[in-house]
Structure 1
Amino acid sequence: MCGIAGYIHLNPSRPIDPQTLVAMAAIQHHRGPDGFGYQLIDKQGVGFSHARLSIIDLEANRGRQPFTSEDGRLLLTTNGEFYDYKRLRADSISRGARFRTKSDSELVLHLYPRLGLRGMLPHLRGEFAFALYDQERDRLMLIRDRFGIKPLYWTQVNDTLVFGSEIKALFAHPEVPRCFSPQGLFHQLMQTMVPGSTAFEGIQQVKPGHVVMVERKQGNFQIREEKYWDLDFPRLSERSDSLPEEHHIEGVRAQLTEAVQLRLEADVPVGCYLSGGIDSCIALGLSAAIQQAPVKAFTIGFDDVDYDETPIAQEMARATGADQDIIHLKADHLYDHFAETLWHTERTIYNTLGVAKLLMSRHVHQTQYKVVVTGEGSDELFGGYPSFRRDMILHGLETLSAQERVQWERGLAESNQLFRGAMLAENETHNPALDALVGFTPSCLQPWLHAAEHVPALLSVPLREQVESYDPGQAIAEHLDGDMLANRHPLDKAQYVWIKTMLEGQILTWGGDRVDMANSMEARPPFLDHHLAEFATGLPPAMRIKGQKEKYVLREAMRGLLPNVLYEREKFAFMAPPAHTDPKKWAAMNQLAQKYLTEEAITHTGLLDAQGVKALFALHEAEGTPLSTKVRLDAVINHLLGVQILHQHFIATDIPALARQRAQELGWHI
């Protein structure tokens, strides 16, 4: 895992500044503290840079990027891992390829000339983002993995296109303006973002499973997005439940075992994140079985018994003989690191779980581990979230009596009471655009569409006027692929929408890559292996959610691996305790508010409305406000803090100057 960056001028004769490339690498040195490199092509107006975290091929200079092909035609900089690379490497060598390193990244330089882009991408398995420049075609390609595990941003400013692993790398380029988008700010305050967007004007993401093609033709950049992969659930007419359960169970077992085995490949030790959920427990259990040795397991413990999963995680650690390392976190301590976390997430966060994971990755790094296997993606593929079960109840095609539906709904509400207001909406919320596209408003979006009702009153008057007729649900709907939703089962639709919004925009960013790589720590999620995902799309809905049991097929596939308490355990969302649950944490949050949400601070940034902020706090503290409403308002308050902190980090701070200073401090120079 690494940090990549670069830029291309419309005018090929305009020179690239090497010092800017170095600064773009230095501002994200946390992604790659083991070295840096840059490369430019004379008289082509193209330059790449790279900050390296050595996982495969540890020898310092041999794996150093950016790479160029032997004939000088190709320039490459990569972030991430390509699995199964040894087999692909051997195949390429048998065809006459000559490798200069042992790095998995070098594969691209050999597969692309032989297979072309479309032919190469199906062979790339893993989590990755890379930039490839083809001098012969004068084409820059920005490519992101299928689920968006690895980040990649880009912007066009004047006659230059700039890209990088993090937004701050783009801001390190002196020509890139730094300002919020009114619509982006709206989504920061409501949590759910429009796919492909950011909080900042003109800054876009390469969408998961997409390529951004950049060509210089007829005096202009010609930029187009091409999708190379999507999670394609079968249409209703294509579904069949004729296969026995054992076929699905064996298929999941085989695919997942292979996915874990591939992610244990590294030239450094590999540990596991371990919570009390079955997903991380399965990842640990399979890792231990494959390695036939104890695995280092890292667990977060909270000081609130309602949210602490340590006892269950300890049971799994004992069952596998893992070397468990528990980091105990106090709820009020999390706000001490809130601002630091947002420097890395580059977006607001609704729950301090992101802070907890930042502290966890720091602890992992301090124990000399660079790589962990994680459980992210399991709920997305196998129907693990309560919102999925709710959509299956309300919109499913299965025949249920009115009494059965009432019982399901009551059981769902009772078992997820702690998370009502975040994981589940307090009240039914509909959006016409989503209803029209999906057939219903997915339950996963409803809490945040409900939170969006607060947003206009929280924005400053000028910004409020700019989003007066803005419909956030419609904006999200317009960026979802209707072909992937048409004639699908309601459960498939619910999972697809979550994957395109909550997974990519939340779990894999401020809950994943950004807080892990903040401490130079690589997380590998085997559940998001695309071979496993493609098998999972074909599972009958009843194999994912069977009766009251979510992730049924996964539980059955791994039944012998899990202690009984875990096999039978219902999904419990892994979250940090919200601020209102602990007086000390509420006081810590208020202390932060006294810095960022005072009338003076709000007036200074010009983003928020002081009276609106004051009214929201009053509603939160009013006697009789339901706990579910407090959960929702806790999230909005975190976003308010986040917006102000993002302004301080990225608007008020001179990022190009800071990046040059970082380069000097690191001794990175041309």
Structure 2
Amino acid sequence: MCGITGFWNPSRKNEREMRFVLDGMLDVLDHRGPDERGSRLYVDQGLALGHTRLSIVGLDHGHQPIEAEGGDYAITVNGELYGYKRIRTELACESLECSGKSDSAVALPLYLKHGLSFVERLRGEFAIVLYDHREQRLVLVRDRFGIKPLYYAMNDGGIAWGSEVKSILKHPDVPPKLCPKAAIHQMMQVMVPGSTAFEGVNALLPGHMLIVQRDGDRLIAKQTRWWDLEFPTSHESNPNPDEYVAGVKERLIDAVATRLEADVPVGCYLSGGIDSCSILGLATTLQQSPVKAFTIAFDSDAYDESNIAKLMAERTGAEQELLRLTEKELYGPAFERATWHAERTFYNTLAVAKWHMSRRVRACNYKAVVTGEGSDELFGGYPFFKQDWLGRDDDGGGIFAGAILAEEDLQHPDWMDLCGFTPSWIQPWMLTLKRVRPLLSQELQDLLVEYDPVGEVARAIDADQVRGRHRLDISQYTWSKTMLEGQILTWGGDRMDMANSMEARPAFLDHHVAEYAVQIPPEIRIRDGVEKWVLREAMVNVLPRELYERKKFAFMAPPAHTDPVKRQAIQEMISHWMTPERVSKLGVFDGDKLNQFIDDAWNETDGTIARRNDIVMNHALQLHLLHGQYVEGLPLPVVD
């Protein structure tokens, strides 16, 4: 697990200048790779490759960039490539040598053998930048689900890239500027796939590669898809549930076993949910020694599931590390640091909690954990998936209402055209946008006359992968193309984990598991109204009975409105960061309307509306934080 960055500016060939720029881009990625730093300059090309390393596999043999054939080929890799020992052996039998014994070392020989199709032979979570000097070609690759981040900015001068946006913003051709359209998308929580909070900076789409070809002093780029989560146009009739239960069990065992391989100890994240408990149960059986399990506990019974996690830890004999978090940890300096690492706003302080958890993991001398992300996406775990197929439950959404479920049914023409219905997962964010609109500055009000953010997200989805599919498949696919990558795997995943030099390995997002899961008929994914039924049955002998029978729980941190102490903590941050001068400088909000909204929000008694107000306040606060941190260059606070 590492950080990668670099640039290609064909008309700039001053070695001293190139080194100075690359060093600045690497400096802000130290947290991703504190163990080692490497670089390679092609001065005659104006091209620089940089790498910061977190050593997990091949501790003494993983220096990057990796080169071949006298430097005609060079590669940097961020992530984990599983099955590398078998690949290395197969390559050796064909007289293709790997440079070193780390997992990353197999990527370049595979490219030399298979060309651009080499990526299809990789298993794991990865982002790759490869330079082919003979072809005058640069290739940026991102894994199937976007578990590992990779961003780029391209203009007339060339291209800059990085594992995090902050490294690209250190390049002199990419000034830090927040994008007004992206600000609106952040306020409604849903980003357009491929976009970021900053003007001119793009995210490479999951399962895609960007091929950059030199043409004189110009660079020509083309983004192409090499993998997708492809649901079938029809499912098996009268399926045998036992067959699918066995298939899930077999593939998940293999995925967890694969992710336990490392040259350092590997632990597990453990919430009280089916997903992480399944991972821990399997890891316990696969490991020779007790597994270290890391759990977050909140000071609110409505949002805390640590009691179930404790039960699972006791059942498996895991060594549990329990981290209890209150308003002191969820707001203030940690909130500010989490925002800087996220590089975008987040609706709930779960991101801050994840930052604290990765910090605790490293304090316990662990660099890697296996996690449960992706299970809900593949097996229909979220309540909005069930709602799209089977209709609304009678409970009104509970604490999901306002944050995960809308309290009313909404439609949008672009989503109706794409899907035949408006997915339930985007409806609460449509209501959030409705709440935000009156608070925006006149400039953004004018922008929204011609720009439809909800429709823009729909237009970013490949219609060919949606039309003709089952409603459940459509709901799962559209969520996975937007919120999985843009939320769960970024500010809820990699960005908070790697903030403290810690690698997360989501076993459910192994592509062998995923490609099997999409073939499972909907009535087996959700059976008799029970979400993730097939996974529950596959793990029935692993999970405690209390968890096996339990409905989906909301893994969120308690919102500020639930506690007067938390309310005071966020109000102090709002008073500091959202002064009239700062609000005016950012230019996103009408200051008077925003202040009135905040005053009214603290008096709201309807729980659903109060949760939505909390979301709006978080996003508004963080937009001002991002402007201060990245545009104004204000220093980050120290966290005790």
Provide the TM-score with structure 2 as the length reference: 0.97
1:71 Cα shift?
Answer: 3.5
Which amino acid in the other structure matches residue 234 of structure 1? P
State the alpha-carbon separation in 1 of the partners of residues 57 and 317 from structure 2: 27
Please list the CA deviations of residues 574-599 of structure 1 after superposition, one character each: whole Å capped at 9, or x if unmatched: 00001101110011010111011232
Is the aligned partner of 1:171 residue 2:169?
yes
**Higher RCO, 1 vs 2 (CA within 8 Å, ≥6 residues apart):** 1
> Which residue in 1 is equivalent to 2:358?
361
State the secondary structure of the residue aligned to 1:560: coil
Alignment length (residue pairs): 634
- Provide structure 2 residue ranges, at least 5 long, that are not aligned to the other structure: none
Contact 1:332–1:584 at 8 Å: present in 2 too? no
Q: Is the 8 A contact 2:559 2:614 kept in 1?
A: yes
Give matches, 1:202-281, under 5 Å.
202-217=200-215, 219-236=217-234, 239-281=235-277
Q: What does 1:533-552 correspond to in 2, within 5 Å?
A: 533-552=514-533
Counterparts of 1:89 and 1:362, CA distance in 2: 34
1:105 equivalent in structure 2: 104
Q: Give 2:229's aligned amino acid.
A: L
Superposition deviation, residue 609 in structure 1? 1.6
Q: Give the drift of 1:34.
A: 0.5
Q: Which amino acid aligns with 1:432?
A: P
Q: Match for residue 390 of structure 1?
A: 387
**CA distance in 2 between partners of 1:184 and 1:13 (Å):** 34
Where in structure 1 are there 5+ consecutive unaligned residues?
Answer: 395-407, 659-670
Kindly provide the amino acid, as one letter, of the partner of residue 66 in structure 1.
Answer: P
SS in 2 for 1:294: coil
Cα deviation, 1:66-109, whole Å, max 9, x if unaligned, reads: 11113322111110000111111110011102223111111111
Select the residue among 281, 287, 312 that pairs with 1:285.
281
* Conserved 8 A contact 1:39-1:47: yes
1:135 aligns with 2:128: no
- Which of 301, 310, 316 is residue 314 of structure 1 equivalent to? 310
CA–CA distance in structure 1, aligned partners of residues 110 and 129 of structure 2: 15
User: Cα offset for 1:137?
Assistant: 1.0
Q: CA deviation at 1:604?
A: 3.3
| Aligned match of 1:327 | 323
1:499 aligns to 2:495 (yes or no): no
1:219, distance to aligned residue in structure 2 (A): 4.7
How far is 1:654 from its partner?
8.0
1:401 is matched with which residue?
Answer: none
For residue 144 of structure 1, what is the aligned residue in structure 2? 142
CA distance in 2 between counterparts of 1:458 and 1:52 reads 44
Write the mapping of 1:575-654 to structure 2, written as runs, cut at 5 A: 575-622=556-603, 625-653=605-633
Q: Give the aligned partner of residue 201 of structure 1.
A: 199
Residues 172-200 of structure 1 deviation map (CA, whole Å, 9 limit, x = unaligned):
11221111111111111111100000111
Stretches (4+) displaced over 6 A: none
The question of whether the paired residues in 2 share the 8 Å contact of 1:181 and 1:201 is answered with yes
Does the 8 Å contact 1:442/1:494 carry over to 2? yes
The one-letter amino acid of 2:178's match is F
AA in 2 matched with 1:642:
Q
Moved more, 644-653 or 469-478: 469-478
1:668 counterpart residue number: none
Aligned to 1:91: 90
Question: d(CA) in 2 for partners of 1:640 and 1:10?
Answer: 40
What does 1:374-453 align with in structure 2 at a 5 Å threshold? 374-394=371-391, 409-411=393-395, 413=396, 416-453=397-434
Q: Distance in 2 between matches of 1:243 and 1:549?
A: 17
In 2, are the aligned partners of 1:595 and 1:601 still within 8 Å (CA)? no
User: Which residue in 2 is equivalent to 1:667?
Assistant: none
Please report how far the alpha carbon of residue 389 of structure 1 lies from its aligned counterpart in structure 2 after TM superposition.
Answer: 0.6
Partner of 1:2: 2
Report Cα offsets for 1:87-136 as digits up to 9, x if no partner.
Answer: 11110011102223111111111000111112x12211110001001111
Partner Cα distance (1:588, 1:42) in 2? 51
Q: What SS is found at the alignment partner of 1:467? A: helix
Alpha-carbon separation, structure 1, partners of 2:264 and 2:318: 18
Shift of 1:605: 2.9
Between the aligned partners of 2:237 and 2:500, the Cα distance in structure 1 is 46
Aligned to 2:293: 297
Aligned position for 2:48: 47
Indicate the residue corresponding to 1:25 in structure 2. 26
Q: 1:424-480 CA deviation, whole Å, 9 max, x = no partner?
A: 012212211011101111111111111111333333223332333211111001110
In 2, Cα distance between the equivalents of 1:322 and 1:385? 28
Do the aligned partners of 1:233 and 1:537 also contact (CA within 8 Å) in 2? yes
How far off is 1:14 after superposition? 6.1
Cα distance per residue 1:600-649 (max 9 Å; x no partner): 321233332212212322442345x5210111110010000010000011
Do residues 66 (structure 1) and 47 (structure 2) align? no
Asked whether the 8 Å contact 1:419–1:631 carries over to 2, the reply is no
How far apart, CA to CA, are the structure 1 residues paired with 2:258 and 2:168?
A: 33
Q: Which residue of 1 aligns with 2:74?
A: 75
TM-score of the superposed pair, with normalisation by structure 1: 0.92
The answer for the alignment partner of 1:155 in structure 2 is 153
Match of 1:123 among 121, 124, 128: 121
Q: Per-residue deviation at 1:28?
A: 1.1
Contact 2:156 2:218 in 1 (8 A): no
Percent identity of equivalent pairs: 48
Alpha-carbon distance in structure 2 between the residues aligned to 1:654 and 1:550? 46
Q: Secondary structure at the match of 2:450?
A: coil
Equivalent-residue separation in structure 2 for 1:11 and 1:134 (angstroms): 18
Distance 1:432 1:22 in 2: 48
2:197 and 2:412 mapped to 1: Cα distance? 22
CA contact (8 A) 1:190 1:451 kept: yes
SS in 2 for 1:351: coil
